[in-house]
Structure 1
Amino acid sequence: MTTDPGHPSVVRHPRPTRAELAAATDRTIPDVLGPGLAVLFVGINPGLWSAATGWHFARPGNRFWPALHQGGFTPRLLHPSEQGNLPALGLGITNMAARASARADELSTEELLDGAEILADKVARYRPDWVAVVGVTAYRIGFRRPKAAFGPQPEALAGARLWVLPNPSGLNAHFTPVTLGLAFAELRAATGLPDRRTA
């Protein structure tokens, strides 16, 4: 990590090398968790960039952090390295499956089913108000809800209300940065959290 001499306030983070990315396969990264969160965001599983850096949604081109800001959850756009700031905002991150892979479709159905059970245990322990699964396909498989759509879900998870968001991966061409931000904003409005961009 270095500071840009031309812009001292801008922190530059080194990109993982190919060898570091390859070595990150099957690695796990810590959750960003705490008691009493307003929203626990649930990714599918860590990508190799995330596993190499230890930061959730770290791959360049992943739109989670911009969507989080555009949705009003954060007062400014956070870098993945700033994930530790989230619990103070009432937000957390975990994953359906813990092991890292190059692509989410490398996960087995069994891993997603097991992951949903582990997630339910975490939710029962930490008791967030809302659980937002970031990826409808993983939600459909892991929770055996083949017809689930985006948005609020009729069932609860260990007492928390459930919401399904689009996958923010840059590979998801069905959602633009604008429509992804609107999807996050819809969840924020449902939670009752203020729009922190205007605070």
Structure 2
Amino acid sequence: MTPPRRPTRAELAAAKNKTVPDVIAPGLDVLFCGINPGLYTAAIGHHFGRPGNRFWPTLHAAGFTPRLFDPSEEQELLPLGLGITNVVARASAAADELTDREIVAGGRELAARVRAFAPRFLAVLGIGAYRTAFAQPKAAIGLQPDPIGETRVWVLPNPSGLNAHYQGKDLVKVFRALREAL
């Protein structure tokens, strides 16, 4: 397989505020939820698309996928009972460009999506975004006490390469805990 062409600077700039379609279906086992798409992801149109993002390798190493998927294969998650969405739909260069108001509004929209599609688990990838979106300032990584409808909520660390708090093996360990809870 030939590696995809990287977006140009102009394509990255043009990706600001774009959205990436959800990978979603009713009754999934896990709906993974990023904070919002980065510019690289929006430019290529596939979730967790930036090289260096650890989502895809971690998903495989934790046992969610039978092999390492490329972001362009994201639709192959659906038959595995997995999906992807975001708290905030619009792309930005960094999550810190989002306002708390935007994250709270995104949390309300996410909760409505979760009620409509009813996955077994919602896995929010980013403790800070979860705390803000759902007014849970003391939330910690792992299973949360409050479900959304019948959906249990699990918070995982953000898999961005910029998240230095979790090294690869530690990230796999916390993702695997969710996998084992299934």
Q: Counterparts of 2:20 and 2:12 in 1: how far apart (Å)?
A: 14
- SS of structure 2 residue aligned to 1:155: coil
For residues 64-86 of structure 1, give each alpha carbon's deviation from its aligned partner in whole angstroms, at most 9, with x where no partner exists: 00110011000000000000100
Instruction: For residue 12 of structure 1, report the CA deviation from its aligned partner.
Output: 1.5
Aligned equivalent of 1:141, options 129, 132, 145: 132
Distance 2:31 2:111 in 1: 12
TM-score normalised according to structure 2 size: 0.99
Pick from 156, 159, 167: which aligns with 1:176? 167
User: SS of the residue aligned with 2:144?
Assistant: strand
Q: What's the offset of the Cα at 1:159? A: 1.6
Matches for 1:20-169 after TM superposition, within 5 Å: 20-169=11-160
- What is the root-mean-square deviation in Å for CA atoms of aligned residues? 0.6
Quick one: distance in 2 between partners of 1:85 and 1:11? 19
Q: Identify, as 1 or 2, the structure richer in strand.
A: 1
- The answer to whether the 8 Å contact 1:22/1:48 transfers is yes
Is the CA contact 1:153–1:162 (under 8 Å) kept in the aligned structure 2?
Answer: yes
Could you tell me how far apart the structure 2 residues matched to 1:162 and 1:175 are? 20
Conserved 8 A contact 1:97-1:111: yes
1:132 deviates by 0.3
Amino acid across the alignment from 1:39: V
Q: Secondary structure of 1:124's match?
A: helix
Gaps of 5+ in 2: none
The 1-side partners of 2:96 and 2:122 are apart by: 22
2:52 alignment partner, SS class: coil
TM-score by length of 1: 0.90
- In structure 1, the gaps of 5 or more residues are 1-9, 192-199
Between the two proteins, what is the percent identity of the paired residues?
58
User: Matched residues in 1 for 2:101 and 2:122: separation?
Assistant: 21
Q: CA deviation at 1:158?
A: 2.2
- Give CA deviations for 1:3-59 in whole Å, capped at 9, x if unaligned: xxxxxxx23200000100000000011000011100000000000011001100001
Q: Which residue of 2 aligns with 1:186?
A: 177
Distance 2:90 2:3 in 1: 27
Residue 96 (structure 1) shift: 0.2
CA contact (8 A) 1:39 1:91 kept: yes
Residues 70, 182 of structure 1: 8 Å contact kept = no
Q: Distance in 2 between matches of 1:163 and 1:11?
A: 36
